[in-house]
Amino acid sequence: MSWKSYLPFALFVGLIAVFGIGLTLKPQELPSEFINEPVPQFEIANLFEDEPNVTSETLSGEFTLLNVFGSWCRTCIIEHPYLVQLKEETGIRIIGLDWRDTRPAALEWLDRLGNPYDIIGFDEHSEVAIGLGVTGAPETFLIDPEGIIRYKHVGEMNPQIWNEVFVPLIENYTPPAGAA
């Protein structure tokens, strides 16, 4: 038999390999366009109506987690206890972005589950979410003191992600020359 008679079989094996690799990819997790980029400018209402608006400037100054959540989001309920625990243990500033939600639902949700957030922006129509390239909730951004986005985690926050990704990024941070 000539090598040509093996060709269909070789093509078949090749296709299986391509499809196999394709199955392990996660096309719904878009890479963030903002890694090592400053937080885009925004100003948005506070979830608590009598508190001042939340702006992109609010996010710089210290290491900050920006957590996109909503009372409608199931995975957010799963990750929520960990955010509360993280706040208690590390004291890191956590800013929430209440996404596509209603105020009464969000307030009731926080009442029930606890509030680990220092400040919460109310993004009813995805203006900030789209500006940040958010595709789903929860998503958690790590923002350094200069207001530069260092990492975006899609899905629930958990101890493993925190210890393996976020902690090293914070510990290895060196302030840019000239910064106070």
Partner 1 sequence: MLRALFLSFALLSAPAAFAQNAELDDATVEQRTEDISRTLRCVVCQNQSIADSNATLAEDMRRLVEVRVRAGDTDDEVRAYMQTNYGDFVLMSPPVKPTTYLLWFSPLLIVGGGLIWYVMSARKRAAEATGTELGDDDLSAEEQARLQKLMDENASS
Residues composing the chain: 180
Q: Which is nearer to partner 1, 17 or 130 (CB)?
A: 130
Stretch that binds partner 1, among 6-14, 89-97, 130-138, 153-161 (CB under 8 A): 130-138
Structure tokens that stand for 163 in this block: 């210890």
Residues 89-108 that bind partner 1 (CB under 8 A): 100
| Contact between 167 and partner 1 per CB under 8 A | no
Helix or strand run (H / E) with residue 44: strand 43-44
- Alpha-carbon dihedral 150, 48, 130, 175, rounded to 10 degrees: -20
Backbone angles phi, psi at 47, to 5 degrees: -60, -35
Stretch that binds partner 1, among 54-62, 78-86, 131-139, 162-170 (CB under 8 A): 131-139
Instruction: Give the span between the Cα atoms of 134 and 123, in whole angstroms.
Output: 12
Backbone angles phi, psi at 98, to 5 degrees: -80, 110
Residues 2-61 that bind partner 1 (CB under 8 A): 27-28, 30-31, 33, 40
Number of residues lying near partner 1 (CB under 8 A): 17
| Contact between 169 and partner 1 per CB under 8 A | no
Which residues bind to partner 1, rule: CB under 8 A? 27-28, 30-31, 33, 40, 100, 125-127, 129-133, 135-136
